[in-house]
Structure 1
Amino acid sequence: MKYKNYPMVSRIIFGRGSFNQLGDILSTKRLNAKAPFIFLVDDVFKGNSWINSRIPIAYDDQLIYISANEEPKTSQVDEIVEQIILTHKERPSGIIGIGGGTILDLAKAVSIMITNKGEAKDYQGWDLVKNEAIYHVGVPTISGTGAEVSRTTVLTGPEKKLGINSDYTPFDQVILDPELTKDVPKDQWFYTGMDCYIHCIESLNGTYLNAFSQSYGEKAFELCKEIFVENNLSDEEAQDKLMMASWHGGMSIAYSQVGVAHAMSYGLSYLLGTKHGIGNCIVFNHLEEFYTEGVKLFKQMKKYHGITLPEGVCADLDDYQFDIMIDVALGLEPLWENAIGKNWKQVITRDKLKTLYQKM
């Protein structure tokens, strides 16, 4: 048997206020005065001096604000890369993503496409990237997606929603500063936190489970229970622990895989533009058949925190639209094999998926 040689983030800083060290870190990585750092920043921070005054811009560095209202697209990656190439004569010293999963995924994808020819859609899949990405740094400002640690960058392309999964995708440096998550709205906090929780459930109940993924998954699961069930933590403790849960949840799926909820939420996202966190929640809410205890606890957490999920999101869809979602979901074969086993195609039929989608 050949085992996966998994690339990990090589450098990590954790701590409240650690964002202030970004300038010192980048100063040793600058290639020259004309090779800029490109900062991709969630536009929710536009006008936020608490964040912006601490972004260490110098020389020809460029700050690009990006909306995270929609899921990241391959076309968006191509546009950012073209903008960088046309604006700067020299290859950038690095790409720095400051934001949630959308911004972090864009930063990873842009760093890859700076050094690889063609379009981002050409690299959607597993191990298609040929050349090493340029230096890239991730600074999460919300916790749960695991994008800061994963070897994938989830993108919606013209034909599918699928990540650029490669050994060159993980960040070279991550800064985990829980203070940056203090102003996240409650609904978004819950949906993104549940992305982490669902990572744990899908990993721990999957056929790909091994001691490596289990050790991280169990820790993330315990942290999620502390945060979302026991709920006796201070705000600062909850921020610290959710950032760690996100990291461990991401590590758990790194050496295994996600499952049914993610496969089906990709279909929702591709067709309807549903954001990843809430999409996972909408799907997971109906997956008792696959994750009985996990869904039961999820519904308790949802009720405890007063979260109401959208209903009827698929109510007005026609057969053609259902087929689009089903095609996207079925295209994610490793997820189904992890969730069901090698015989998954005998269990997961098109009619089965349509019936599940119709409940949502």
Structure 2
Amino acid sequence: MFRNFKMVSKMVFGRGCFAQLGDILKEQRRADRSVMVFLVDDVHKNKPLKDRLPLEKDDLLIWVNVDDEPKTKYVDQLVGQVRTHMEEKTGDLPAGVIGIGGGSSMDLSKAVALMLTNPGSAADYQGWDLIQNPAVYHAAVPTLSGTGAEVSRTTVLTGPEKKLGINSDHTVFDQIVLDPELIAGAPNPQRFYTGMDCYIHCVESLEGTYLNSFSQAYGEKSMALCQDVFLADPEDADDKLMMASYCGGMSIAYSQVGICHALSYGLAFVLGLHHGIGNSVVFDYLEDYYPQGVREFRQMMERHRIDLPRNLTANLSDAQMEKMVDVALVLEPLWENALGNDWKTIITREKIRELYRKM
């Protein structure tokens, strides 16, 4: 059975296009449902972007904190804030949810949009195609590029038992606004780590068993853009990185990521390591699986003077190590994409422990 792939309905790309956001949202506002909810990374709280938000009278602005990886508990809290706000307005649902920031902010906005129309906790929907009701209208404006969250069908969340996305066609954004001016000046090493998420997406997609012409076309273009951005430093690096993120996200949307992402989920769950850093830490130890990609990754690290954190797992208890292994093994499609249908005969719990011990 071929996948009937859901894509972002509308997108606008170009320097300065953020100025169009108000007009774009106006099309979604109705007399009986006009409230927009803006979830904005709090790094912008005292920055010029704050004064450019197209807020109208009854809109709700929430500054979201992403110092930690997005958690299901935080999603539930944000949904509660939105519901309380809407009780004071007309209608039970807002006209839309707008996520502005990096991958974590976008994931939070997707999750909130979903949970406004589905009962229970966000933790109830960690998995594949568990969402029953369509989300409210939701849009994204990236201010960091690399994660591909702007085009993916998942919102990656850490729950009480696991780190696993809410994977659903209903998760996909209805609108994205890609303005390269908004990612200018992102500080290193954050920009590097987020960009490496994109680069690793490409390596895992292009070398995976799920590879097809669709994912290959997007993956190869994204890979070339990443190589240009991180090995040549072109003048239009922000434009290229933003499109690399888009194409990388599209590539894995019709294939899958692999070993690096599976292992980084375990690191994030137990150690709270951010996604981009976690991927970079793990990828540096995967030369046996992705030799060319790891060599090139190390060249990029050297060029951008990146020193990865080391000895992260040295003092973990046996219970913590076992939990990391559990979290990694839950992600079966990632292992299958990387190693094929018989991946369970290749990857054992001891092999995963061995990889984690190196970190």
Using the size of structure 1 for normalisation, the TM-score is 0.97
1:45 matched residue in structure 2: 44
Q: Provide the C-alpha distance between the structure 1 equivalents of 2:32 and 2:22, rounded to a whole number of angstroms.
A: 15
Size of the alignment, in residue pairs?
Answer: 355
- Does the aligned pair in 2 maintain the 1:34–1:59 contact within 8 Å? no
Q: Which residue type is aligned with residue 52 of structure 2?
A: R
Q: Deviations over 1:196-219 (max 9, x none)?
A: 000000000000000000000000
Question: Unpaired runs of 5+ in structure 2?
Answer: none
1:335 matched residue in structure 2: 334
List structure 1 segments (4+ residues) > 2 angstroms apart after TM superposition: 31-35
Q: Deviations over 1:204-242 (max 9, x none)?
A: 0000000000000000000011111122x11xx000000
Q: Which residue type is aligned with residue 203 of structure 1?
A: S
1:142-181 equivalences in 2 (<5 Å): 142-181=144-183
Q: Provide the C-alpha distance between the structure 2 equivalents of 1:34 and 1:242, rounded to a whole number of angstroms.
A: 36
1:99-178 equivalences in 2 (<5 Å): 99-178=101-180
Q: Secondary structure at the match of 1:85?
A: helix
Q: Say which is worse superposed, 79-88 or 148-157, in terms of deviation.
A: 79-88
Question: Which of the residues 174, 184, 187 maps onto 1:185?
Answer: 187
Q: Provide the C-alpha distance between the structure 2 equivalents of 1:152 and 1:178, rounded to a whole number of angstroms.
A: 23
- Does the aligned pair in 2 maintain the 1:204–1:217 contact within 8 Å? yes
Q: Which residue type is aligned with residue 149 of structure 2?
A: A
1:25 matched residue in structure 2: 24
Q: Provide the C-alpha distance between the structure 2 equivalents of 1:31 and 1:164, rounded to a whole number of angstroms.
A: 29
Q: Provide the C-alpha distance between the structure 2 equivalents of 1:299 and 1:216, rounded to a whole number of angstroms.
A: 23
Q: Which residue type is aligned with residue 339 of structure 1?
A: A
Q: Secondary structure at the match of 1:186?
A: coil
1:210-289 equivalences in 2 (<5 Å): 210-231=212-233, 233-234=234-235, 237-289=236-288
Q: Provide the C-alpha distance between the structure 2 equivalents of 1:347 and 1:17, rounded to a whole number of angstroms.
A: 49
CA gap 1:339/1:34 in 2 versus in 1, 3 angstroms: closer
Q: Provide the C-alpha distance between the structure 2 equivalents of 1:35 and 1:11, rounded to a whole number of angstroms.
A: 20
1:307 matched residue in structure 2: 306
* 1:52 shift after superposition: 1.2
Q: Provide the C-alpha distance between the structure 1 equivalents of 2:5 and 2:294, rounded to a whole number of angstroms.
A: 30
Q: Say which is worse superposed, 103-112 or 34-43, in terms of deviation.
A: 34-43
Q: Deviations over 1:169-210 (max 9, x none)?
A: 010000000000112101001000000000000000000000
Q: Provide the C-alpha distance between the structure 1 equivalents of 2:11 and 2:221, rounded to a whole number of angstroms.
A: 19
1:57-76 equivalences in 2 (<5 Å): 57-76=55-74
Q: Secondary structure at the match of 1:138?
A: strand
Q: Secondary structure at the match of 2:335?
A: helix
Q: Provide the C-alpha distance between the structure 2 equivalents of 1:87 and 1:136, rounded to a whole number of angstroms.
A: 17
2:353 matched residue in structure 1: 354
2:79 matched residue in structure 1: 81
- Does the aligned pair in 2 maintain the 1:45–1:51 contact within 8 Å? yes
Q: Provide the C-alpha distance between the structure 2 equivalents of 1:323 and 1:34, rounded to a whole number of angstroms.
A: 48
Q: Provide the C-alpha distance between the structure 2 equivalents of 1:24 and 1:87, rounded to a whole number of angstroms.
A: 23
Q: Secondary structure at the match of 2:118?
A: coil
* 1:40 shift after superposition: 0.1
1:196-207 equivalences in 2 (<5 Å): 196-207=198-209
* 1:348 shift after superposition: 0.7
Q: Provide the C-alpha distance between the structure 2 equivalents of 1:115 and 1:34, rounded to a whole number of angstroms.
A: 15
Q: Which residue type is aligned with residue 9 of structure 2?
A: S
Q: Which residue type is aligned with residue 80 of structure 1?
A: L
Using the size of structure 2 for normalisation, the TM-score is 0.98
Q: Secondary structure at the match of 1:357?
A: helix
Q: Provide the C-alpha distance between the structure 2 equivalents of 1:147 and 1:352, rounded to a whole number of angstroms.
A: 30
* 1:34 shift after superposition: 5.9
CA gap 1:182/1:33 in 2 versus in 1, 3 angstroms: farther
Q: Which residue type is aligned with residue 273 of structure 1?
A: G
Q: Deviations over 1:47-67 (max 9, x none)?
A: 11x211111111210100011
- Does the aligned pair in 1 maintain the 2:60–2:85 contact within 8 Å? no
Task: Report sequence identity in percent.
Answer: 59
- Does the aligned pair in 1 maintain the 2:17–2:177 contact within 8 Å? yes
